[in-house]
Structure 1
Amino acid sequence: RRTAIPGQSATSRAGLGAGGNVVDNKEQSLVLASYIMYPAHHGICEVYKDYIFGETAGKGSFGKVQLVTNKKTGARRACKSIGIQSPDQWELIKAEIELLKALNHPNIMKLYETYQDGYTIYLIIELCHGGPLFDRIVQHYEKLRSPITEEQVSHWMRQILSACAYCHERGVVHRDLKPENILFVDSSPDSPIKVIDFGLSDTMQRLRETAKEVKEKRGGVGGAVARLLPSFNGRHIIPWYVRRVRMQRAGTPHYMAPEMIRGDYDERCDLFAVGIIMYQLLSGIHPFYVPGLDNEETVKSKILTVDPPTTGEEWQCVTSQAKDLVRKLIVKNPKKRLSAAQALEHPWFQFMQGRQAKPSQLTASVFEGLRNWQNQNRLKQAVLQLLAKELNETDILELRKKFEALDQKGDGTITIDELKESMHNAGYKVIESELAAIVDSIDAQHQGFIGYNEFISALLLRRMTLQEEQLREVFNKFDVRGEGCLTMESLRKALKGSRYGQLTDEELKLIFAEVDKNNDGYVDFYEFCDLMTS
């Protein structure tokens, strides 16, 4: 897991900035407190005070999803409302919220804020109005009677695998990947996709901690012999049972991996589901389910015993590389199954599309924007992090393409090596120590790479002009008491040092002094605007 820059210790990673100046680690980006980035509201009808509710987009056993509009900003979102039926369900909801807060990836649905009204939880999430992947499969194979091109399939698969690789590197298993849980941002053919519904997701650490040991009858000849032999004082000569670890099963039976059915799995169970999805995209057929013939039990039986074919009329026009990747994803032995990172390196992706963006698209302005981040006021950096998270996908489409071009491995992060190669390909010269300083200054979480939201934050002001209503909304989030100004104390609560814990009084005074132009001990909205537009 990449948690540090290779070859450098945490205490020796100061680097050279623009002009050869030493960049001190203490001047890195700040981390915003959770209540600023992901506000949690409590109270009767609070959500209805802030949002206008529109049509219902979907219903399920969990509750429903409705289209909503923020009354102050006009931002269109989706609202997932969940009725709490039991303490166990409340724990699941809390786990989903914490996971969504922690996951920062271009192909994972964003969480904006939460509301609790009695026994109902409202999650304000990213609006994806392009429909699920399932609908596009149906559109092509049942309505148009036309297969989906491999170019298109590879574009979608790369995004799905990227989200998986990102989650798995952080120990998170989705456990319910299926076409219905993959949404398009809009209806365009090249729309970005978002993996949704982390309600059944969990960390491998927690799943192992809650696993149970069970006794199962020994099968085969050994089991038969053990049961025939006599016992002495209640003990069999050969134990007729074996002890196994059983983890909680989860997900949709039609997309369960064999090891999930058996109850002993890890993150590669997600890759089996991804393999089924790819099989459907290329052939229009589910590999283990025939409508009208199969039920839940027969599907599970097939998953455990049947090897789906990649021959026949549906596969005649599919390349051998695509077939090879499908087979390596739906292999029954998880130890032989490709990981998400390995799948992204499969020759099929290079054969079909190569890199998604040409080096020429990465202009000097991108690298200058990343380099100049360390020169920004630290409060301004924190505000830009919040603004980047709040923006809709359409607002940052070009920046997203730049990020994907730099993210050569497709795992949702940008490392020093990836940045170095991209800059070299674009003809942009930079020394390696300066690259380390650039990444270090942007990498607020001390992970050894630039994350998606951090990248958008660093380049945001080069791509758009901030509107007064946007700034007012952000200002109000910092001004939690509604005093009309920011104080040293309000900033102390809102800002955290990136890797040194809480800010010291000296650090806080320096940050505040840069913004408090008239030295009256308060930062009003106009001083705040001056900071953000300077």
Structure 2
Amino acid sequence: MPHKAAAPRAMTCWNLGCWTTALEQLRSPQRSCKPTSQLISSVIRHRMLSKRKSETQDIHSLLLCPDPSRRLDRSYTEPQPLGHGGFGQVFRMKHRMSGEVRAIKVIAKPSCLDELQTVSNEVYALLQLDHLNIAKLFEYFEDKGSIYVVTELCEGGNIGELDPMEDDSDEIRLLFRDVARAIAYCHSEGIAHRDLKFDNCLLAHCNDRRLGRMAKVIDFGLAGFLQAGVPGEGELEGVVGTLYFLAPEVLKSTDPLNSYGLECDLWSFGVMLFVVLTNEHPFCSTASGPEDAYRRIANGCLRLSCLRNAGALAIEAEDLLRSLLVKEPLNRCSAAEALVHPWLQPELETPASPSCKPEQLRSLVERISSFSRFSKFEQAILTVAAHEAKPKDVEELQQVFSALDLAQAGWISRDDLRRALKICDVRLSKMETDAVLDCLDADQDGKIQHTDFLAATLKPAHVKSEKVLEELFNFFDFQGTGHITHEDLKAVLGQDLACHVAVQARANAQGVISQENFRAFILKAMNKLELQIQNEKSLAAMMVL
């Protein structure tokens, strides 16, 4: 196969844009738009709180705490433009306190009230998602004109730059599996990305892998929301996304009677895979204009000759592509089915289902039991520390999480954890088992999420490092002023606990806590937790004797 030409890469810029806008105007009456001063953050908060089953404290609720109206320039500096999309411009900026470089997407606020919910999609989706292959949300800001979404920065290029002639074939499979995992996780949460393309599947540096790269999905501005765990329900409407990656059912949804579901993302995934492996689009040539491309994608045949001409293309890859690029969405393979396909099982890394040793699980269960008895403040500290942790710092815990995530869904089911406890001969009473499960699945949705698991199993000693102490201080220092106020604590912990922490952390007469006093308070709290865990272990050992 020849070296990858530039033409397929150009497909990413064929955004429907004005073309579909014109179609919409032909079939929709003109609406009068009034400028809005309503805060998007209030829309996001309302959507999040109305979705949640209980007032649980997890990373999703903690990220809602900072006041979005605080000033961005107090926390970030040195903006450098990275790119511009349909929903806003992206900058590379440095976090003042930590020195960490992050991506900041600037989204202009709409002039129409009925567009508020659409613009809030980016933050609303990221607040719900907690997966290693989805760009992590750190925080967000809002002023009169824009909303600013801060996520981790991925500087390794995008998945469309992979070349079978130059890149390790197993790594290509591994990186596409990363994307498939992200899609499967989103779908399990009832979220369709709806704009999967090369530009939105980025590569990030990853020290845990031999070749040092991991794929992450970004940009949820066009996300659609359905009932979680209900495949085949066509409730999404509107032709949104980038033309060359759109599924036929999306293109045909200009008819108000036609809707579509989560399956549209699998078509886009198949298009990306086809282009990378063959250097061709599966249904139209690089010379096709938008109208011709529309017809070919909606009604044309799969270009089988491209698969044959690819030469070294594995039979498994062709089989996967044929199951993804199916016109009828209900006959298309799901993300969960794609994940277990042989082609997405590379041998580059450690086994896909790492083992979990009985003594290891017993130790983690002891930590989880202790975590369930920690104060709200102590749980918040460990949750933030888990969210901010680098993969190399929690590698062992992530391996256990992966071992317990039997379906590769990005979360652990209650039944899977019960089964693991039984296999590892971890003997707990029904009351103790329920307590462990309730601690890990506080919102009772049957899913143990990644950060919740890390928070409950993280050793308090991890929090005592200077780097983590600094990150914790930065989280509570919402305004980036170099100190923590009573109002900052109140936003996370509530009035009563904020007063308690202020006293224990030796706040001054104005209720302000210095970084030095906050650091000393956290160290004292973590030392207490370590002693508590040790005492519980000793007591358990005595009871066994």
Fold similarity call, TM over 0.5: yes
Aligned match of 1:58: 83
CA contact (8 A) 1:106 1:400 kept: no
Report matched runs for 1:49-198 at 5 Å: 49-84=74-109, 86-87=111-112, 90-136=116-162, 140=163, 145-146=165-166, 149=169, 151-186=170-205, 189-198=211-220
What residue in structure 1 maps to residue 325 of structure 2? 330
Distance 2:346 2:150 in 1: 40
Superposed displacement of residue 146, structure 1 = 4.4
Identical positions, percent: 30
Q: Which residue of 2 aligns with 1:530?
A: 524
> What TM-score results when the alignment is normalised by the length of structure 2?
0.71
Higher relative contact order (CA 8 A, sep 6+): 1
Structure 2 residue identity aligned to 1:295 = G
Deviation at 1:252, TM superposition (A): 0.6
Contact 2:267 2:326 in 1 (8 A): yes
Q: Is the 8 A contact 1:112 1:124 kept in 2?
A: yes
Instruction: Classify the secondary structure of the residue corresponding to 1:101.
Output: helix
For residues 80-479 of structure 1, what are the structure 2 equivalents within 5 Å? 80-84=105-109, 86-87=111-112, 90-136=116-162, 140=163, 145-146=165-166, 149=169, 151-186=170-205, 189-204=211-226, 247-263=237-253, 264-291=259-286, 293-310=287-304, 312-349=307-344, 356-357=351-352, 359-360=354-355, 364-365=359-360, 367-376=362-371, 377-378=374-375, 379-393=377-391, 395-420=393-418, 429-431=426-428, 433=430, 434-461=432-459, 464-468=462-466, 470-471=468-469, 473-475=471-473, 477-478=475-476
Give the C-alpha shift of residue 270 in structure 1.
Answer: 0.8
8 A contact 2:66–2:478 mirrored in 1: no
Q: Deviations along 1:217-270, whole A, 9 cap, x unmatched? A: xxxxxxxxxxxxxxxxxxxxxxxxxxx999211011101111000112111111
Is the 1:154–1:352 contact (alpha carbons within 8 Å) kept by the matching residues of 2?
no
Deviation at 1:419, TM superposition (A): 3.3
Match of 2:21? none
**How far apart, CA to CA, are the structure 2 residues paired with 1:124 and 1:258?**
33
Alpha-carbon contact 1:128-1:184 (below 8 Å) kept: yes
CA contact (8 A) 1:158 1:410 kept: no
Aligned equivalents of 1:157 and 1:247: distance in 2?
27
Tell me which residue corresponds to 2:49. Answer: none
CA 325–382 in structure 1, closer or farther in 2 if over 3 Å, else same: same
Q: CA RMSD in A?
A: 4.0
Q: TM-score, normalised by structure 1?
A: 0.72
Whether contact under 8 Å (2:87, 2:221) holds in the other structure is no
What letter corresponds to residue 444 of structure 1 in structure 2? Answer: A
Aligned-partner Cα distance in 1 for 2:80–2:392: 22
**What's the CA shift for 1:355?**
7.8
Q: 1:157 to 1:32 in 2, by over 3 A?
A: closer
- The alignment covers a number of residue pairs equal to 449
Instruction: Work out which of the two has the higher radius of gyration on C-alpha atoms and give 1 or 2.
Output: 1
Once the two structures are overlaid, the 10-residue window that deviates more, 302-311 or 252-261, is 302-311
Per-residue Cα deviation, 1:497-526 (whole angstroms, up to 9, x for no partner): xxxxxx9x8xx69x959x9599x9999623
Structure 1, unpaired ranges of 5+:
1-25, 207-243, 497-502
SS in 1 for 2:80: strand
Retained in 1: the 8 A contact 2:401–2:453?
yes
User: Distance between the aligned counterparts of 1:184 and 1:119, measured in 2?
Assistant: 31
